[in-house]
Amino acid sequence: MNAPVILDRRRVLAGGGALIVSFSLNGAFAQDQAAPVAAPAPKPPGSLATTPYLDSWIRIDADGSITVFTGKAELGQGLKTAVQQIAAEELDVPFASLKVVT
């Protein structure tokens, strides 16, 4: 017949290579208090009230330097170079005259 299986910590770790324990304390420390009422958010400036998803800006300084600000993150895909190339082409300025801030 089959011998009973003995499950102890050492044999489980040796056989499976890992021990995973999961638990949740969700609600364990909850208090019966009403959430504080937040103050209303301030009105967005300028045209952001009508276009709230705007996330890129172009700044042209008095000395002619151009900076492009974008809300995108550079994660190694070459986003800064691509945005700089597009902006240089659209503004008809040399590539090196632009600076991109992500």
Q: Is 68 within the bounds of a domain?
A: yes
pLDDT digits (tens, 9 = 90+) for 33-92: 566 677 887 887 777 777 777 777 888 888 888 998 887 788 888 889 999 999 999 999
Q: Is 56 within the bounds of a domain?
A: yes
Q: Is 4 within the bounds of a domain?
A: no
pLDDT at 18: 52
Q: How far is CA 52 from CA 40, 42, 44, 48, 94, in A?
A: 17, 13, 8, 5, 31
Q: Is 5 within the bounds of a domain?
A: no
Confidence class of residue 98 from pLDDT cuts 50, 70 and 90? very high
Q: Is 9 within the bounds of a domain?
A: no
- Rounded CA-CA distance 86/67 in Å is 13
pLDDT at 95: 93
Q: Is 82 within the bounds of a domain?
A: yes
pLDDT at 40: 84
Q: Is 34 within the bounds of a domain?
A: no
Q: Is 98 within the bounds of a domain?
A: yes
Report how many domains make up the chain. 1
- For residue 55, the SS3 value is coil
Structural domain harbouring 65 = 48-102
What pTM, to 2 d.p., does this model score?
Answer: 0.49
Q: Comparing 27 with 2, which gets the higher pLDDT?
A: 2
Domain with residue 91: its CATH number is 3.30.365.10
